[in-house]
Structure 1
Amino acid sequence: MSATVLVTGGAGFIGSHTCVELLDHGYDVVVLDDHSNSSPRALERIAKVAGRPVTAAYESDLRDRRALSAVFAAHPVDAVIHFAAKKAVGESVEKPVEYYDTNVGGTTALLSAMREHGVHRLVFSSSCSIYGDAAKVPLAEDDPAGPTNPYATTKWLCEQVLADVCRRLPEMSVLALRYFNPVGAHPSGLLGEDPRGVPNNVMPFLTQVAVGRLPRLRVFGDDYATADGTGVRDYIHVMDVADGHRVALEHLDDDTGMRTFNLGTGAGTSVLELVAAFSRACGRPVPYEVTARRPGDVAALVADPGAVARAWNWATTRDLAAMCRDAWAFQELNPSGYPD
C-alpha cells in the first residue's frame, strides 16, 4: 500500500511542486489549502504533470480545527508536510498579528490534530531567515537565531513549539528544513509561481515585469555591505526544494525527536546578479529601479548545506541559469498566471 501524505498549503508554489514529486514517487497525496495565496487550478496542473491526481483536496483554513480533524478522520495519513503559512517579509512587518496568528496558530492546530489522530511524522517548511542579520555566511544549523522580522520570528517560534512537543512526546519525529529563496518552476512550464496580487518575492516580480504585467522591478536598497550593494541570497530551485522534502520523508524514521537541516546551494547571488541572469534567460533587459531598504531585510543569507549532504548524501542539482529559464518558461506559457 502507498503511504498517504497530507500536504498543507499543497496548492501553493512549493507545495504544488512537492505534490508532483510525491506523486511521481508513488505516494498518495491529500492537500489542504485555503487558496489565500494560491489557485485551485494548480491542482489540475499537478494532475497533468504527474499523470495522476491527488487523492483529495480540501479548501480550508488550517486553524479550523473541526475541518482539520475531519481530514485526518477521512484518510489514513502516515505523515504531514507542512507548508501552509504567510511568507512575505515586508508584509509581516506591516501585519505582525496576522502572521503570528496564521503561522504559529496554524502549526499548533496541526499538531493538535496530529496527536488526536495518532500521526507522529512531520516535515516542517522552515526558513533560513531565522538566522537574521548574521555576522558570517554561509550559515550552519548550529549558528544562533536572530530573526529581524515577524515572518522569520514565526518560523523560529514554530521550531521551538515543535522541539517542545518532541520532548513531551517521544514518539514524534520532526524534520525542519530551512531554506531561503525558492525560485524557478517545473521544467514543463505547466506549474510555477503565481502569487495573488503584486508579488512580494523577487522572482515572480521579475517574471511579471518581463511579460509586461508590471512596469519595473523594485530593488530594495543598494547600500548593503555586499559586492554590488544589493542583498545576497541563496536561491534554490523549487524542484530541488520539492526533492528535499520528499527525501526528508524517507528519513523521518532515522530517529525520533526534532532535527533541523538547511537546504541550499551554498552560493549567494545578489539581486542585481539575479536580474542579469534572468535578463539572459528571457532574452531582454528587465527594467528596475532602486528604492529604500525594506524593513526587516538583511544584507546576506546563504545556507551551509553540508549537514544534509553528510546525513543523506543529498545536494541541489540545478543552477541559477536553470532557475531563471524554468521561471520564464512558466510565465511565458502562462502570461496571466493560472486561469481563474
Structure 2
Amino acid sequence: MLDIKGLYKNYGEFRALSDISVSAESDEFVCLLGPSGCGKTTLLRIIAGLEEYQQGTITLDGRNLNDIEVRDRGFGIVFQSYSLFPNMTVARNIGYGLKLRGHDKATISAKVDSLLQLLGFPQLAGRYPHELSGGQQQRVAIGRALAVAPSLLLLDEPLSALDAKVRHEMRDEIRQLQRRLRIPTIMVTHDQDEALSMADKVVCMNHGHVEQVGTPQDLYFRPKTKFVAGFIGTSNFFDQAEAGILFGASGDAGTTENLFVARPEELSLRADEGADAVVEDITFLGKVSQAQIRWRDRIILGEIRLGERLRPGDRVALGLLPEAGRWVAP
C-alpha cells in the first residue's frame, strides 16, 4: 500500500502542491485527474523519486520512501513520450530493466517471451521502435515497465499521443492487464473519460490541492464542489434563488454548500406554451440530443431522449428527475 500524508511541494515561492493526502491499495487503479498545471504530474514524479518535496510523508507498505533509493523502489514507469531506445529491438527494450538487474539471458528471454504473448504481439519481437505504430510503441513501453515485476506502476498520461480509436482500445487493454496482474497503479490524466472508465479511485486535483477523492461514481453523481461537478461531465449550476424557482429546491441554511448542480440528463423537459424557458438549439448526439434552453438571461443544458419531440423555439417547463440534483460548495 502506498500512503501519502500532508505533502507539500514548492518551486521557490510558488507552491505546486499543498497538503496532499492520497493512498493506493494493493491492487488498486488510481487516476490523478485534473487540468494542466494542477500538480498531478509533479505528484507522480515525487512518488517516482524524480522530484523532492518540502513537507509530508510517503510510505510504501509502512516504509518511508525517503529511506529507499530510487533504484531499489521497484517501480515501473511509463512516460507520455514512451522513451523507447531507438537502437534496440522490441525484445531488447522490454528486457532492458532485467539486464540492468543482472538476470541471465535465459531468464530475460523467457520473461520477454511471456510479456510479448501477454501484450499480444510476439511477432514484433525483432522490430525497432520506428517500425511500430503509436499504439504498439505504447505497449512496448508498458511491457518494459512490467518486466521487472514492479511493486507500483506509474503512468504519466500514457495515452495522450494516440488517436481517439487507439486511445480507447489502449485504455481497455491497460485496465484489463492491471486487473489480471493485480499491480497497484497510479495514472496521470486530464481526460475525464479515461479516469471514469479505468479507475477504482479518482483523485481530482486543482491548483495544487485535492478537490475530492472517491470512486468514479462518487465524483460524477456526488461531487462536493463546483470545480468537480464542472470538470467531470457537464453540469448546470443554480444559485439558491434559481433552484427554488425552477425546482423548489432549498439548501440548509448556514452551510457552505449553497450552489445547486444538475446534470443535463437529470432534467425533465416538458412542452408547455406557458413556460418561460425556450429551446434555442438542439445538437444530435445519437441516442440522445442535447438541448440548449434559454431561461431568463442564461443557457441551461438538457437532454432530449428518443421519442421526445421538441424543436428549437418550443417553450418547455423544466423539472428534475427523481433523486436528481445536489448542493455543492462554490
Fold conserved between structures, TM > 0.5: no
The structure in which a higher percent of residues are helix is 1
The structure in which a higher percent of residues are strand is 2
Higher RCO, 1 vs 2 (CA within 8 Å, ≥6 residues apart): 1
Report the TM-score, using the length of structure 2 for normalisation: 0.26
Report the TM-score, using the length of structure 1 for normalisation: 0.26
